[in-house]
């Protein structure tokens, strides 16, 4: 659960779905930065359940600041926060060490931790840990905002459909006890040319590293992405040009704002593929690790029909953490 | 150019395309491991030019061991190697600081390094630096081989076509002074369940981080990848089952061998999208940073019509480095 | 406030002396380790005030586990704990941004954080942050104990005297509104030969790095330490020999159990010099940063006459963290 | 042999005493910095043998730049250099795996690397690896020099004597086939207040970590150091005052220029204790690991009678690396 970002920001996220609390410690923020707690809570609320197309669970997710703020300003000491867990129903999960849920980490976690993993609510593999991620990313978004950087993600496809039909598609999957996948597209503007690094610290390396830590992500692509593999150089290449103010731009943006791991000054554009929610109401085949026999599992409880919906602010948070680290 | 992998292996790659030498220093390899230099050179030869569909440049790329080996065995001290650069033609590149090549790092590197970047051959943004990456990955492949882990990548698509037609498509692009993109698929077998970590150190996070450091990569997807976003949970979910030996497996492998950032024991499968080679012979629009006017650029020299071809062993090397780090 | 230890354990300590809470997050502990909370609290109690020769402040310092433990066993997820701050008297400190206390971090922290540092109780420079350090180190001590490693530190000198006279010397300094320095010696037994590393990760490098993070430490020496600089090789060299069981030992232990950054199997012995408590009741000369004039400062409040007394378990905790990291 | 410094500079040192080459790779230097190679070689020459009181071996130690420099300026890519080993006499060392030298790493390295360690010349435990350290530190010294920071170390004691008698004392030890220890004092001026960090990244933590990587270091102390442990607060405390220009200073400098891990603007002063050279000509008791019997060892070859003499520039290099990292 190590969340070390680049060289300036160090983020540690702790907690399990049903532990006393989950939280985050952020080191490396500059002192004297005023955090707008109202805006931060509004940002975090975007990933909370209870929205259309999400679970009915109520999670207040109120962040409690433990340290690092004095009179609303960062003081140079680590910013620590926690969210107390209140609405836990551990009993729902108790059998999953014996009969692992398909498409969840239950089985490999059982092997890795030799049975000592916290199974309740998925333990620290739970999507719930994206709440402290959004807290940390939300702080970074505010910092970037002051530098003129804007980050905006949106759901562009769900269950294979786009636009207004997405809500319908999600609702109909939910009614059928099923779920759907989705694609989130993110666009970052206001980043000057030359931000980033080469090698393992390329912008794409750092962004994809954090993005793939969000539960359910199956693919990340920049600019033209996989489509580029089907193109010719003469189609794909973006020509350099000057805009009216004399700034260097490209006529098209197939490169997605990054070349050689560095920002080019064009909008940074990437897409993230989310799998369908693994917890579905339909009966599923699994194994009983005690008896060594096949069995059928029926997952109860409340689950999002499309995790990509609530993942939108998580994608923004991930991007903000990475950009903030480079720009500090 | 920092290449720090996980917690056990630290890889530093140095060099520019036309510097005296390029090379790598690998820390963290266990002492007493015998390196098969013949096999290693054969592996490295797979990324060398001169194959079908690649540039005609001759690069011997003979690795010289500087330290870390005694009588062919690792001695616990960093394994350092270099490849001397011999076939450099710096004059080919001298104008690219003024008129940056489309789709190359020339312009953002010029901004980031305030004009002090080494432009010759793309400097340290050059694909040439994948030679030391292959050296390091090739050593890891040998280590993994002794643990029963096999890594095999292949080009599955070029310029939008698959199979035998790919060579034809590449050749025809080359004839036209153009280039094509491609997709490399990699399959890792022999990894037991429970390898990996959660959070930013998830298997997908670590793999994608290293993969996106390879020049030209535009997308990375695991298992069903972007296709998962178009599926329902009931289609996408892989059922757990026992195989004949009583091992836990899944009936299908949409998850690509990784759940919650941990290996499941199933083959780890991922695909990497490569853009078309940016250097094409056709004239291209660019900017003259000195005059502030638009201009037309014609790139001379010898370039691969499809970088994905030579990238195949690089993908294997990247995967080997990551897996080796987790398994040490 | 970054506390990254070696490659296996990552410790993050957060909090300021008077923030809502202070705490620690420990990543990298193996799953399935049972923590003896009673023993841990007893260990932490050794650094608490209220002992002879320490301040009269009452700090309950009860650790609250936030995550990482299930039924008393580590679960592989980060172990997070906090200690709520209750007995804060911020008003005592309000003027120290204007008139910095001699020998405290008030002035350099004011410069570094541009006045936004938390001055109350010394903020995150406070010795109070050794409480979470002792929590983390105490957990490691338990782990090491199961491997047969014992760590024991003691105060061997205070105010220039040794033995029973130390308490007297400390008490008399306290009566005079003054303070004294001290030396803590630590001995680690049960570490086999070959633990450690060369270069910046030598045992001495790692131990000294953590030890110098304890407030008030002015010197660290291993084995014969500074005395070695006054010796001849023929006096200082420890001869190798076999003990009765045939183990390789040295006849003397001037090397302090470490050679080349690696343990030799002999007891690891080091000493840590602590300065006198900087907060003394006597009037002291300082500067008024507002008026730009000299002034006289009189520090009120309750302070340890000899910080080395309560530092003894901190030294053990620091050593345990380092050793545990190498031995995991 | 990992040499990771702080968050800006990453140094990797490779090589063994008798490998093909030793060298260093430095990442994180700013692009566009002109290195004065003549001054750098002059700095490196200060640690070379052949001076008074050092071994008679001839080591040219000519650094060969492999990458990172274009026309004498750093180009933003890692600065890599090597020194080819020429004067190797491996046969001198061949028996030390069987009969380890007292006070050397032979035995613990044999255990750690299971006999695969490179024993020739001490392998990568050799003091010879301080040559690339001096290269890297020498570059940093030049960078700091442009910021007004000066670092000067000197030998203040050898074999227990000070001043002009030191040379005599060293010479007489050499004549007797013996060696002496010594103390190096270092003074850093020109560092403004507020440089450094708290916790494990305190200035003392970072400096001691690098200093203890230099072979033979047994102790490090700052300001009054161990002497502080014998003082009262009223004696030890440095009063804040203004100098004539209105800068904040302290009347005395017992604190050694660092408080709370941060520079105070006063000179940073520390001392480093070096043990006597372990290789002495006198016969010494050791063990034969093959026969399991005691034996007597007589070390041949050419050795410095006082390693502290040549360590002076190494101490400066270590300090420069740390300071440069904080100030970049």
State pLDDT tens for residues B131-170. Answer: 999 999 999 999 999 999 999 999 999 999 999 999 999 9
If one counts the domains in chain B, the total is: 1
Instruction: Please give, rounded to a whole number of angstroms, the shortest distance from the CA of C183 to a CA of chain B.
Output: 35
Q: Half-sphere exposure of C136 toward its Cβ, with a 13 Å CA cutoff?
A: 36
Q: Measured between CB atoms, which of B14, B19, B65 is closest to D25?
A: B14
Residue A268 token pair = 């940074």
- At D61, the pLDDT band (50, 70, 90 cuts) reads confident
Query: Which residue range is the domain that position A309 belongs to?
Result: 4-321
pLDDT of residue C92: 65
Label residue D47 left, alpha or beta by phi (over 0 means left) and psi (-120 to 50 means alpha): alpha
Residue C198 token pair = 């060369």
Backbone angles phi, psi at A294, to 5 degrees: -70, 155
Which residues lie below 8 Å from residue B170, measured CB to CB, with a gap of 6+? B53, B158, B159, B180, B305, B306, B309
Instruction: Please give, rounded to a whole number of angstroms, the shortest distance from the CA of A134 to a CA of chain B.
Output: 14
Q: Measured between CB atoms, which of B7, B77, B198 is closest to C7?
A: B7
From the centroid of its chain, how far is CA D251? 31
Contact A14 C77 (CB under 8 A): yes
Domain contains B328: no
Instruction: Please give, rounded to a whole number of angstroms, the shortest distance from the CA of C3 to a CA of chain D.
Output: 5
As a whole number of angstroms, the distance between CA D241 and CA D252 comes to 10
Q: Measured between CB atoms, which of A2, A19, A116 is closest to C74?
A: A116
As a whole number of angstroms, the distance between CA C4 and CA D205 comes to 12
Quick check: D202 contacting A, CB < 8 Å?
no
Domain contains C204: yes
Contacts B136 to D, Cβ<8 Å: none
- On whether the CB atoms of residues B231 and B147 are closer than 8 A, the answer is no
Quick check: A116 contacting C, CB < 8 Å?
yes
Domain contains D256: yes
CA-closest candidate to residue C276, choices C156, C142, C103, C40: C103
As a whole number of angstroms, the distance between CA D49 and CA B105 comes to 45
Domain contains D291: yes
Instruction: Please give, rounded to a whole number of angstroms, the shortest distance from the CA of B90 to a CA of chain A.
Output: 20
Q: Which residue has the tokens 């994206």?
A: A130
- At A302, the pLDDT band (50, 70, 90 cuts) reads confident
R_g (Cα) of chain B, nearest Å: 21
pLDDT of residue D130: 95
Contact C294 D241 (CB under 8 A): yes
- At A54, the pLDDT band (50, 70, 90 cuts) reads low
Contacts D77 to B, Cβ<8 Å: 1, 14-16, 19, 117-118, 123-124
From the centroid of its chain, how far is CA D187? 15
Contacts C220 to D, Cβ<8 Å: 208, 219-221
Contacts B225 to A, Cβ<8 Å: 218-219, 273
User: pLDDT (tens digit, 9 = 90+) per residue, B99-119?
Assistant: 999 999 999 999 999 999 998
Quick check: C7 contacting B, CB < 8 Å?
yes
Contact C76 A124 (CB under 8 A): yes
Quick check: C233 contacting D, CB < 8 Å?
yes
Q: What is the largest CA-CA distance in chain C?
A: 72
Q: Which residue of A has its CA nearest to B215?
A: A260
Quick check: C8 contacting B, CB < 8 Å?
yes
Residue C67 token pair = 């995550």
Contacts D32 to A, Cβ<8 Å: none
Quick check: B300 contacting C, CB < 8 Å?
no
- On whether the CB atoms of residues B120 and D67 are closer than 8 A, the answer is no
Instruction: Please give, rounded to a whole number of angstroms, the shortest distance from the CA of C74 to a CA of chain B.
Output: 16
Q: Measured between CB atoms, which of B32, B66, B114 is closest to D82?
A: B66
Instruction: Please give, rounded to a whole number of angstroms, the shortest distance from the CA of D71 to a CA of chain C.
Output: 32
- At A58, the pLDDT band (50, 70, 90 cuts) reads low
pLDDT of residue C50: 64
Range scoring the smallest mean pLDDT among A41-50, B79-88, C211-220, D1-10: D1-10
Which H, E and C letters describe chain B, residue by residue?
A: CEEEECCCEEEEEECCCCCCEEEEEEECCCCCCECCHHHHHHHHHCCCCCCCCCCCCCCCCCCEEEECEECCEECCCCEEEEEECCCCCHHHHCCCCCCCCCCCCHHHHHHHCCCCCCCHHHHHHCHHHHHHHHHHHHHHHHHHHHCCCEEEEEEEEECCECCCHHHHHHHHHHHCCCCECEEEEEEEECCCCCCECCHHHCHHHHHHHHHCCCCCEEEEEECCHHHHHHCEHHHHCCCEEECCCCCEEECCCCCCCEECCEECCCCEEEEEEECCCCCCCCCEEEEECCCCEEEEECCCCCCCCCHHHHHHHHHHHHHHHHHHHHHC
Strands D240-242 and D293-297: unpaired
Count residue pairs from A and D with Cβ separation < 8 A: 5
Domain contains B166: yes
Backbone angles phi, psi at D70, to 5 degrees: -130, 115
Residue A298 token pair = 């029926």
Quick check: C58 contacting B, CB < 8 Å?
no
Domain contains A237: yes
Give the residue-averaged pLDDT of A6-34.
93
Count residue pairs from C and D with Cβ separation < 8 A: 360
Give the residue-averaged pLDDT of C66-95.
87
pLDDT of residue C121: 85
Q: Measured between CB atoms, which of D19, D21, D78 is closest to B1?
A: D78
Q: Measured between CB atoms, which of C16, C76, C79 is closest to A77?
A: C16
Contacts D77 to A, Cβ<8 Å: 198
Which residues lie below 8 Å from residue B75, measured CB to CB, with a gap of 6+? B31, B68, B69, D16, D113, D116, D117, D118, D123, D124
Instruction: Please give, rounded to a whole number of angstroms, the shortest distance from the CA of A9 to a CA of chain D.
Output: 10
Which chains border A (3 or more CB–CB pairs < 8 Å)?
B, C, D
CA-closest candidate to residue B19, choices C230, D82, C210: D82
Quick check: B66 contacting D, CB < 8 Å?
yes
C-alpha distances out from residue A89 to A94, A129, A301, A310, Å: 10, 17, 9, 21
Label residue A249 left, alpha or beta by phi (over 0 means left) and psi (-120 to 50 means alpha): beta
Contact D8 A8 (CB under 8 A): no
A225, pLDDT greater than 70: yes
Instruction: Please give, rounded to a whole number of angstroms, the shortest distance from the CA of A71 to a CA of chain B.
Output: 32
R_g (Cα) of chain A, nearest Å: 21
Which chains border D (3 or more CB–CB pairs < 8 Å)?
A, B, C
Domain contains D313: yes
- On whether the CB atoms of residues B94 and D71 are closer than 8 A, the answer is no
Contacts C16 to A, Cβ<8 Å: 67-68, 70, 75, 77
Low-confidence ranges of chain B (pLDDT < 70): 1-4, 50-60, 87-92
Domain contains C60: yes
Q: What is the CATH number of the domain that holds D62?
A: 3.60.150.10
- At A270, the pLDDT band (50, 70, 90 cuts) reads very high
Give the residue-averaged pLDDT of A307-326.
97
Helix/strand/coil percent split, chain D, to 5 = 30, 25, 40
SS3 A197: coil
Q: Which residue of A has its CA nearest to B198?
A: A1
- On whether the CB atoms of residues A215 and A125 are closer than 8 A, the answer is yes
Label residue B160 left, alpha or beta by phi (over 0 means left) and psi (-120 to 50 means alpha): left
As a whole number of angstroms, the distance between CA D146 and CA D34 comes to 11
pLDDT of residue A13: 95
Give the residue-averaged pLDDT of C87-116.
86
Contacts B8 to C, Cβ<8 Å: 7
Instruction: Please give, rounded to a whole number of angstroms, the shortest distance from the CA of B14 to a CA of chain D.
Output: 6
């Amino acid at each position: 659960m190590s969340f070390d970002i680049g060289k300036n920001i160090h983020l540690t996220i702790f907690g399990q779905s049903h532990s006393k609390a989950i939280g985050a410690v952020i080191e490396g923020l500059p002192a004297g930065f005023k955090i707008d707690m109202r805006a931060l809570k509004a940002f975090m609320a975007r990933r909370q359940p209870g929205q259309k197309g999400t679970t009915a669970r109520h999670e207040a997710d109120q962040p409690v600041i433990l340290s690092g703020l004095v009179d609303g300003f960062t003081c140079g000491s680590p910013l620590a926060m926690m969210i107390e867990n209140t609405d836990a129903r551990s009993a729902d999960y108790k059998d999953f060490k014996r009969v692992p849920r398909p498409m969840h980490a239950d089985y490999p976690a059982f092997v890795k931790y030799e049975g000592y993993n916290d199974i309740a609510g998925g333990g620290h593999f739970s999507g719930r840990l994206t709440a402290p991620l959004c807290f940390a990313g939300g702080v970074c978004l505010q910092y970037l905002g002051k530098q003129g950087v804007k980050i905006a993600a949106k759901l562009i496809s769900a269950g294979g459909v786009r636009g207004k039909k997405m809500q319908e598609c999600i609702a109909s999957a939910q009614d059928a006890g099923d779920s759907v996948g989705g694609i989130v597209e993110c666009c970052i503007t206001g980043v000057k040319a030359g931000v980033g690094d080469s090698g393992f610290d390329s912008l794409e390396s750092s962004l994809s590293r954090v993005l793939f830590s969000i539960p359910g992500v199956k693919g990340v692509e920049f600019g033209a992405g996989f489509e580029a593999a089907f193109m010719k150089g003469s189609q794909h290449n973006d020509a350099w040009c000057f805009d009216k103010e004399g700034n260097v731009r490209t006529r098209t943006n197939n490169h997605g704002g990054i070349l050689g791991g560095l920002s080019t000054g064009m909008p940074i554009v990437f897409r993230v593929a989310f799998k369908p929610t693994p917890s579905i109401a339909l009966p599923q085949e699994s194994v009983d690790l005690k008896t060594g026999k096949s069995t059928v599992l029926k997952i109860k409880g409340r689950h999002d029909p499309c995790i990509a919906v609530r993942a939108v602010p998580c994608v923004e948070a991930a991007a903000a953490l990475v950009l903030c680290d480079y720009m500090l």
